[in-house]
Chains A and B, each alone.
Chain A
C-alpha cells in the first residue's frame, strides 16, 4: 500500500482533495484498499506580529487550525512541515527581486515550483515515507506513451495550469490532482456533506505573505528598497508625471499613477536602470510578439523548433493562437495571431495545445523583444 501526502492549506479545495485521495466520500469510509494519507500543512513564514494576527490567509495560524480540524474529521495523521527557509528565499525574496527588476512577480507559481512540488515532495516525502503528493489544484494529469501530461481542469473557470506549467516529468509522476474533474460548487458540496469546517470558507485572494496587500513595506523590509521618485514618461518620451519609485509599479497597472491625460493610461514599461516608468494608452500597450526566457516543457523537450500553440499571459486571461519559435539556449519568440494586452515581464507565457499544457517561459522585458 502506498502512502500519499495531502498538502492541506486549510482551504476547502485542499480539504476535499485530502478526503478524495483518502477515499472518503459522503457515502462512507474508505474500503480496505484505500491508500494511506498523511495531511501536511506547510508553515511558510513565522507567526506573530500584528499583520498575521488579524489575517485570514492560507498560511496563518487560523489556517493551520482549520487544516488540523479537517484532518481530524477525515481521520488522517496531520503534521506541520516547516518550509520557512525555502519559502523565504524562493518565494518571498524572489517576489521582492522581481519588483526590483521591473518585473511582475509570480509567487503562486514559485511556491508550486519550489515549495509544494519540490520542498514538500523531497523533504516531506522522505519524512513521511510517501510516494506521492496530492494538492487541491484544479488541473489534471494523465500519461500517454510513457509521458506524463498536464491538462487543464474540466472546469475551465478554475483551471490552475497557469501556475503549474513549470512541473517536470518527475514531479508529475509523483503528483495527484484529485479535483481536476470537479467544479468549485461540487467541491463545496462534498465538503458540506462531509461536514468539513472549511466548506464555506471564502476563496483566498491576496498574496499569503503580504498582509493587506501592501508589498511596498515588504520591499523595504526584505531588500531595503524605500523607493526614490522618478519620471513618468508617455510613449513619446515626454515627462508627464512623477512616480514614487519604479518598483512600486507593474506593467499593465492603471491605478495609482497620479497622471491625468484625459484618457485611461497604463504602465507600459518599467526601466529600473533609469528609475523610469513609461505609460501608454490602452492600445499602446498591446503587443503581438514578445520574447520569453527560462523556457520549460512539461514533456521535457519542445514539440518542434517552431510550432503552433495557444498562449496565456496571465491567470484567467483568454488564451490566443500563436506561433512559437525557440530562441537560443532558453528563449522563446511568441507571435500572436491577435495583439495581447500588456505582456508583463516576469509573468509566465504558458503554452497550450487544446487542453494540454505544453510548458512555457517567462515574459522578457520589452527591449529584449525588439532586439530579437
Chain B
C-alpha cells in the first residue's frame, strides 16, 4: 500500500469534480463561444463555474480569468500587468522565495528593461511587509508575493502587504496556488488585485486554473487570437477543466468542514514533524506556526534529498524534495537559500505534504521509514569508497 505524502505537488481528482466534469467530456461538448444550442449548453457550465469560483474568493464573476493552471496565471499576472502599466513605470517587487512561474517571468521582464526588486525573507521564510512598503517607488507597477510557500509552507502576512500596496496605489498579485486548498480567501479583505489558483492542487483536474483580475486592473493578454475571457485569454475554454476546478474548489472551501480538516491535518503534520525531527541530524524548515496545515518540511544533514525520496518510494512512501523535479538536478532550493541555509545543507531537503486520505497510521509508518532510510543513507555516505580500498600487495621488493 502506497502512502501518498506529496499533495503539494498534486492531489487525486475528487469524486465531486470528476462527476461534475463528466457531462462536459461526453454530451456537453460544445464550444462556449458558439451561438447554437450545443454552444449555449457549454457556455452555461462555464458561466456557472465562473460564478462559483468568484463567490469562493469574494470576487465578481467578470473578474475571473480561466487559464491552463497556476503557471499561466502567474505568468499572466506578472507580464499582463507589467506591460499594460509600462508607460507609468517599469518596476516590480517580488520575493526571493516565489515559485519559478513568478521568478522566471520577472527575469524575462528584466531582460526587457524592467527593474525587479527581490525581497529577502527571514530564516522562517517570512516576508516583512515594511520591506515591501520601503521598496515601493513612483515607478513601481506591481508587487507579487505568494500567500503560502510551496516548499516550506510558510504563510505570508498578505493582508498587511495588501494594505501597503493599496495605500501606494500599486497592483498587488498573490500566488495562492498552495494556499487555496486551506486558507479562506477574500480578495477584498486581503486587498489584492490579482490572485492565482490551480485546480489540481485542490483535488481538481490538471491543466486548469484561474486568475482573479480586479476590475480596473490594466492587463494585456499573453495569448492572442480570440475574444474569450473578456480578451484577457484567447483560446477555446477548457470547459470540463473549468467545471472541475469550480466543483473541487467548492468542496474544499466548504465550512466548517475545512476548518475541521485543517485541524486534523495540523495534528498529522505536527506528529510527523515531532517524530522525524527527533532523528539526529533532521531539522524542521519553515515557520513553526505560520505554515500550511498539511506541510511538513525538513532537511537532513549529509544526504541528498533526491536519494531519500527514492529510498522512501521503494518503501511505499511518496514524498518530495520540495519541488517536483525529475531530471535529477541538485541545484539547492532557492527558497532554502533565501532563508539563509547553506547550499550543502539545503540539498538534504524533504517535503511531506498530507491530504484528505492520510491517517494517523500513515504518520507512524512514515516516521519508521524515514528513520530506516536516513540511517541507511548516512551509513553509505560515511563508508569508505570501495574503489579507494588499497589493492592488497604481497610485499615485493623491486628487482
Q: Which of B307, B387, B393 contacts A166 (CB 8 A)?
A: B387
A82-B329, A301-B392, A301-B394 known; A129+B386 contact, CB < 8 A = no
A77-B314, A80-B327, A129-B376 known; A122+B385 contact, CB < 8 A = yes
Contact residues in A for B306 (Cβ distance below 8 Å): 80-82
**CB nearest to B384 among chain A residues:** A122
**A242: interface (CB < 8 Å):** no
Tell me, rounded to whole Å, the shortest Cβ–Cβ distance linking A107 to chain B: 15
Complex CA distance for A306 and B396, rounded to whole angstroms: 10
Q: Are B399 and A127 in contact (CB under 8 A)?
A: no
Complex CA distance for A110 and B313, rounded to whole angstroms: 30
Complex CA distance for A126 and B313, rounded to whole angstroms: 13
CB contact list, A170-184 vs B, under 8 A:
170-171
Contact residues in B for A118 (Cβ distance below 8 Å): 385-388
Contact residues in B for A84 (Cβ distance below 8 Å): 330
CB contact list, A56-87 vs B, under 8 A:
61, 64, 77, 79-82, 84-85
Q: Mark A78-101, 1 if CB is under 8 A from B, else 0.
A: 011110110000000000000000
**A271: interface (CB < 8 Å):** no
Q: Mark B92-117, 1 if CB is under 8 A from A, else 0.
A: 00000000000000000000000000
Contact residues in A for B393 (Cβ distance below 8 Å): 295, 301-302, 329-330
**CB nearest to B328 among chain A residues:** A80
Tell me, rounded to whole Å, the shortest Cβ–Cβ distance linking B348 to chain A: 13
Q: Are B330 and A305 in contact (CB under 8 A)?
A: no
Q: Are A327 and B399 in contact (CB under 8 A)?
A: yes
Contact residues in B for A61 (Cβ distance below 8 Å): 327
CB contact list, B302-358 vs A, under 8 A:
304, 306-308, 310-311, 313-315, 326-330
**A265: interface (CB < 8 Å):** no
Tell me, rounded to whole Å, the shortest Cβ–Cβ distance linking A283 to chain B: 28
Q: Are A47 and B376 in contact (CB under 8 A)?
A: no
Q: Mark B361-388, 1 if CB is under 8 A from A, else 0.
A: 0000000000000001101110101111
Q: Are B307 and A81 in contact (CB under 8 A)?
A: yes
B interface: dominant SS: loop
**A270: interface (CB < 8 Å):** no
Tell me, rounded to whole Å, the shortest Cβ–Cβ distance linking B378 to chain A: 9
Q: Are A82 and B304 in contact (CB under 8 A)?
A: yes
Contact residues in A for B330 (Cβ distance below 8 Å): 82, 84-85
Tell me, rounded to whole Å, the shortest Cβ–Cβ distance linking A141 to chain B: 15
**A137: interface (CB < 8 Å):** no
Complex CA distance for A325 and B396, rounded to whole angstroms: 9
Complex CA distance for A333 and B399, rounded to whole angstroms: 9
Tell me, rounded to whole Å, the shortest Cβ–Cβ distance linking A170 to chain B: 5
Contact residues in A for B397 (Cβ distance below 8 Å): 328
Tell me, rounded to whole Å, the shortest Cβ–Cβ distance linking A49 to chain B: 14
**A249: interface (CB < 8 Å):** no
A38-B314, A82-B330, A127-B310 known; A113+B387 contact, CB < 8 A = yes
Contact residues in B for A359 (Cβ distance below 8 Å): 391
Tell me, rounded to whole Å, the shortest Cβ–Cβ distance linking B199 to chain A: 26
Complex CA distance for A242 and B306, rounded to whole angstroms: 50
**B398: interface (CB < 8 Å):** yes
Q: Are B386 and A121 in contact (CB under 8 A)?
A: yes
A interface: dominant SS: mixed
**CB nearest to A306 among chain B residues:** B399
Complex CA distance for A220 and B314, rounded to whole angstroms: 42
CB contact list, A148-203 vs B, under 8 A:
166, 168, 170-171
Contact residues in B for A170 (Cβ distance below 8 Å): 386, 389
Q: Which of A117, A128, A295, A327 contacts B386 (CB 8 A)?
A: A117
**CB nearest to A167 among chain B residues:** B387
Contact residues in A for B328 (Cβ distance below 8 Å): 41, 43, 64, 80-82
Complex CA distance for A63 and B304, rounded to whole angstroms: 23
Q: Which of A117, A126, A305 contacts B376 (CB 8 A)?
A: A126
Complex CA distance for A322 and B307, rounded to whole angstroms: 46
Most A Cβ at <10 Å: residue of B308, B328, B388: B328
**CB nearest to B312 among chain A residues:** A127
Q: Mark B53-87, 1 if CB is under 8 A from A, else 0.
A: 00000000000000000000000000000000000
Contact residues in A for B392 (Cβ distance below 8 Å): 297, 300-301
Complex CA distance for A50 and B385, rounded to whole angstroms: 34
**CB nearest to A302 among chain B residues:** B394
Contact residues in A for B383 (Cβ distance below 8 Å): 122
CB contact list, B4-53 vs A, under 8 A:
none
**A331: interface (CB < 8 Å):** yes
Q: Are A295 and B391 in contact (CB under 8 A)?
A: yes
Q: Are B304 and A168 in contact (CB under 8 A)?
A: no
**A114: interface (CB < 8 Å):** yes
Contact residues in A for B399 (Cβ distance below 8 Å): 306, 325-327, 333
Q: Are A127 and B385 in contact (CB under 8 A)?
A: no
A47-B327, A302-B396 known; A297+B391 contact, CB < 8 A = yes
Complex CA distance for A85 and B392, rounded to whole angstroms: 28
Tell me, rounded to whole Å, the shortest Cβ–Cβ distance linking A286 to chain B: 23
CB contact list, A262-308 vs B, under 8 A:
295-297, 300-302, 305-306
Q: Are B314 and A305 in contact (CB under 8 A)?
A: no
Q: Mark B237-257, 1 if CB is under 8 A from A, else 0.
A: 000000000000000000000
Q: Are B311 and A129 in contact (CB under 8 A)?
A: yes
Contact residues in A for B376 (Cβ distance below 8 Å): 126, 129
Q: Mark B216-234, 1 if CB is under 8 A from A, else 0.
A: 0000000000000000000
**CB nearest to A325 among chain B residues:** B399
Q: Are A326 and B396 in contact (CB under 8 A)?
A: yes
Q: Are B386 and A79 in contact (CB under 8 A)?
A: no
Contact residues in A for B308 (Cβ distance below 8 Å): 127
The 9 tightest CB contacts between A and B, nearest first, are: A126-B380, A80-B328, A127-B307, A326-B396, A43-B328, A296-B391, A118-B387, A300-B392, A82-B328
8 contacts between A and B (CB under 8 A): A118-B385, A118-B388, A123-B304, A123-B381, A126-B307, A126-B379, A126-B380, A330-B393
| Extra 4 A-B pairs, beta carbons < 8 Å, given A297-B391, A330-B391 | A43-B329, A80-B306, A122-B383, A126-B380
Binding site for A on B (CB under 8 A): 304, 306-308, 310-311, 313-315, 326-330, 376-377, 379-381, 383, 385-389, 391-394, 396-399
